Structure 1
Amino acid sequence: MPKLLIVGTGYVADLYLRSLKLYPEIEIAGCFDRDAARLSQFCEYWSVPAVDSLEALLARGTPGDILVNLTNPASHFEISRIGLDAGLHVYSEKPLAMQMDQAKILNEMAADRGLLLASAPCSFLGEAPQTIWAGVREDVVGPVRLVYAEMDDDFISQAPFRKWFSESGAPWPAKDEFEVGCTLEHAGYYLAWLLPMFGPVRTVVAASAGLADKTDVTLDAAPDFSVGTLFFDSGVVARLTCSILAVHNHELRIIGDKGVIEMDECWNNAAPVRMRKRFALRRRLVNAPMARRLKLKGPTHAKLGRKGAAAMNFALGVVEMRDAIGDERPCRLSSDLSLHMNEVTLALQSAGEHGGSMAMETRFEPVSPMPWAEKLAR
């Protein structure tokens, strides 16, 4: 079984370690962070081994182990490149890279070396999106035409974020968050769901803007609002909105010929999935006021209770990569899927006021659902 080597012990690393506690059979061979004090605090809290350099960390692994890249987004490319060069599979936090040419280099390296490469988010492997996808496959609302996806998180620059700390004491990385931008940080939470369901995006028509004053935190803030219309090769069209200004809204609405599949919170693996049939009542068109709950047959996956703003198992992607290695099969979170998600996300982020239409160059092979999500319960 491959061991994990963790680089980066900041805020998000606690979410991973809390989730990895659900899988005691997974060995964490070592952790490294360039902040020695933070590394010590993290490793003492979680009782995992610390090493004092990246070289020492790599020395603890063997080819075929997994490097888990939880560093600052600006470091993702270089750390992942080093990991692949060392013969390690790499699971990276989002984005895969801050620039598309860097993401392509990683993709090519992984392919050339026969290694797995994937980037977060992994929530697509969770119960709620797998339930939605089963409903789409079973045609419960007829052919899907349109998707509305919202990733709005309220006016974060006015929030008391300096009081936000992770479980082991890391401060929320406000400067990084604002400089990377909410689109690169959050668009993937729905892109990682929609891409496996509906296939590659052919065209992105988008706009983005920086609207809130963040000069007390950073002078290099990225756009804090983006909206994109995604035209999928399959014919489905989706509107995806990201902001850290608009009132909190994580709704997803999948609109078909016969009704709507709806879900209210993508940061909850077990969020209820509902379906409303559409019908004519006298002279009116009505979406059923009483929604039907969609559920899968049998058990799904290990879940965490709510911790902070999310109720997500952050280890699902690492576990999927581990299982793919052990089963000698393709990983559901493939390098090509991560590359395509990176391209779509950057198109949304960089659109600006005159972004217009952007044709996507990358594609990926179809993704299979989880084995426990093949059919809905009846």
Structure 2
Amino acid sequence: MKQRLLVLGCGFVADLYMRSLAVMPGIEIAGVFDTDKQRLKHFCSYWNLPLAPTFEALLQSAPGALVLNLTNPGSHFETSRACLGAGHPVYSEKPLATTFPEAKELVDLAISRGLQIASAPCSVLGEAAQTLGQALRNNTAGTPRAIYAELDDGFITQAEYHKWQTESGAPWPYEDEFRVGCTLEHAGYYLAWLISWFGAVRTVVAASAEAVPGKEGHGPHAPDLSVATLFFENGPVTRLTCSFVAPHNHQIQIVGDAGVLSCDEAWDNDAKIRFARRIKLRRRLMESPLKKRIRLKQPTHPKVRKWGAAAMNFMLGPDEMLSALAEGRPGRLSGDFALHLTEVTLAIQNAGEFSGAQTMTTRCDAMEPMPWAQ
């Protein structure tokens, strides 16, 4: 029996979910809605999906079905709240909300209604993140002492982003991207991995700034560069950098007593995980240039081919949540996880120049590995 899913929003990211859906058997789209009628019609025609004429009709078409909230970030709070109020669990695109009080209200509402709520990104459930997690549990690099993680996407304002569009014709939402900012949009790709491995962040020491002013579109624009030092309750000190300025770099390096674990691309579920053992060569201390590939037993999960800058299965999150709902268990991407991820991300984004050390008020436990990674 197929599990039913409702889709709210037909913008740029929606096509990425539909491409991923093609490799995920057992999920049926019961209805789709978008306030842009022309876009809605074109999207549903392209993907051969059932169109709902109104938001209310969408929610009524499959009572209690999981809603995949793909609206613009500024609409996440209002639309997710309406879905929860109508008795629907929600999987939201990132961010869960653009302010912490709104994110907390959503999680509290879900709890009060006996519903589940989760948010992207779900690459934490992918093979690369799960392989690194297993390597950490196996002590492959010894005790981890420091982590450097980079999420730099190049000098975006000089890119030809007006030409970026999905296969069904949705343009890249540059105004949203510049208003919401690289940190709120992208920090979660590595933050989710880190929190899944080590649990809650205790303290954030960060700075953020708009390094390139005068971006196209209506402002105010969010910081386009942030640098954070994260102190975990049970993990190594971590530096995380996000920008729309520095050359493309999505590398993470986990420095342990015995060597360095690394991954070069957060946006590729199939990215290679490597271990470089620390060696002494004559009087020189170095990491071995002969890196060992770390692999999980196959199969892991369905993969999608690269499109644009990413090779990610965007349906891993909704699929895991549907499984959790069917099995009557909490999802791995729980409300607590989403809320803590949101608080840490906002602390980094809003740090500015003078915020100093910020103590987190939420917490969550480390994530249970996927069955094929245990």
User: Which TM-score bucket, shorter chain as reference?
Assistant: over 0.9
How big is the shift at 1:254? 0.5
Q: Does 1:40 align with 2:37?
A: no
How big is the shift at 1:284? 1.4
Structure 1 residue aligned with 2:123: 123
Alpha-carbon distance between aligned partners in 2 of 1:345 and 1:354, rounded to the nearest angstrom: 17
* Cα-Cα RMSD: 1.0
Deviations 1:184-234 (CA, angstroms, capped at 9, x unpaired): 000000011000101100000000000113343233111000000000001
Deviations 1:90-146 (CA, angstroms, capped at 9, x unpaired): 000000000100111111111112211100000010000100000000000001111
Q: Does 1:353 align with 2:353?
A: yes
Residues 224 and 244 in structure 1, CA contact (< 8 A), matched pair in contact too:
yes
Structure 2 residue aligned with 1:86: 86
Alpha-carbon distance between aligned partners in 1 of 2:9 and 2:95, rounded to the nearest angstrom: 15
Question: Superposition pairs for residues 182-193 of structure 1, below 5 Å?
Answer: 182-193=182-193
Residues 251 and 262 in structure 2, CA contact (< 8 A), matched pair in contact too:
yes
- The residue type equivalent to 1:144 in the other structure is P
Cα separation, partners in 2 of 1:76 and 1:5, compared to 1, 3 Å: same
| Structure 2: gaps (5+ residues) | none
Cα separation, partners in 2 of 1:34 and 1:125, compared to 1, 3 Å: same
Residues 259 and 277 in structure 1, CA contact (< 8 A), matched pair in contact too:
yes
Alpha-carbon distance between aligned partners in 1 of 2:293 and 2:104, rounded to the nearest angstrom: 41
- The residue type equivalent to 1:149 in the other structure is A
Residues 2 and 66 in structure 1, CA contact (< 8 A), matched pair in contact too:
no
Deviations 1:143-191 (CA, angstroms, capped at 9, x unpaired): 1111100000000011000011111001100101000000000000001
Q: What TM-score do the two structures reach when normalised by structure 2?
A: 0.98
Residues 80 and 106 in structure 2, CA contact (< 8 A), matched pair in contact too:
yes
Question: Superposition pairs for residues 224-303 of structure 1, below 5 Å?
Answer: 224-303=224-303
How big is the shift at 1:62? 1.2
SS of alignment partner, residue 148 of structure 1: strand
How big is the shift at 1:20? 0.8
- The residue type equivalent to 1:48 in the other structure is L
- The residue type equivalent to 1:177 in the other structure is E
Alpha-carbon distance between aligned partners in 1 of 2:215 and 2:294, rounded to the nearest angstrom: 45
Structure 2 residue aligned with 1:336: 336
Alpha-carbon distance between aligned partners in 2 of 1:162 and 1:366, rounded to the nearest angstrom: 40
Query: How many residues matched?
Result: 373
Alpha-carbon distance between aligned partners in 2 of 1:325 and 1:372, rounded to the nearest angstrom: 20
Deviations 1:274-301 (CA, angstroms, capped at 9, x unpaired): 0011122232111011000000012100
- The residue type equivalent to 1:52 in the other structure is P
Question: Superposition pairs for residues 128-147 of structure 1, below 5 Å?
Answer: 128-147=128-147
- The residue type equivalent to 1:190 in the other structure is Y
**Comparing 108-117 with 12-21, which one deviates more in the overlay?**
108-117
How big is the shift at 1:10? 0.3
Alpha-carbon distance between aligned partners in 2 of 1:311 and 1:281, rounded to the nearest angstrom: 38
Cα separation, partners in 2 of 1:235 and 1:365, compared to 1, 3 Å: closer
Alpha-carbon distance between aligned partners in 2 of 1:365 and 1:344, rounded to the nearest angstrom: 14
Alpha-carbon distance between aligned partners in 2 of 1:216 and 1:62, rounded to the nearest angstrom: 41
Structure 2 residue aligned with 1:150: 150
Structure 1 residue aligned with 2:21: 20
SS of alignment partner, residue 27 of structure 1: strand
Residues 296 and 373 in structure 1, CA contact (< 8 A), matched pair in contact too:
yes
| Structure 1: gaps (5+ residues) | none
- The residue type equivalent to 1:100 in the other structure is F
Residues 206 and 355 in structure 2, CA contact (< 8 A), matched pair in contact too:
yes
**Comparing 280-289 with 253-262, which one deviates more in the overlay?**
280-289
SS of alignment partner, residue 248 of structure 1: coil
Question: Superposition pairs for residues 89-104 of structure 1, below 5 Å?
Answer: 89-104=89-104
How big is the shift at 1:365? 2.8
Residues 254 and 260 in structure 2, CA contact (< 8 A), matched pair in contact too:
yes
Deviations 1:307-348 (CA, angstroms, capped at 9, x unpaired): 111000000000000111112222110000000000000000
- The residue type equivalent to 1:203 in the other structure is T
- The residue type equivalent to 1:173 in the other structure is P
Structure 1 residue aligned with 2:201: 201
Residues 3 and 28 in structure 1, CA contact (< 8 A), matched pair in contact too:
yes
Cα separation, partners in 2 of 1:81 and 1:219, compared to 1, 3 Å: closer
Residues 122 and 314 in structure 1, CA contact (< 8 A), matched pair in contact too:
yes
Identical aligned residues as a percent: 55
- The residue type equivalent to 1:343 in the other structure is E
Q: What TM-score do the two structures reach when normalised by structure 1?
A: 0.97
Residues 261 and 274 in structure 1, CA contact (< 8 A), matched pair in contact too:
yes
Structure 2 residue aligned with 1:4: 5
SS of alignment partner, residue 213 of structure 2: coil
Alpha-carbon distance between aligned partners in 2 of 1:166 and 1:356, rounded to the nearest angstrom: 40
Alpha-carbon distance between aligned partners in 1 of 2:53 and 2:113, rounded to the nearest angstrom: 28
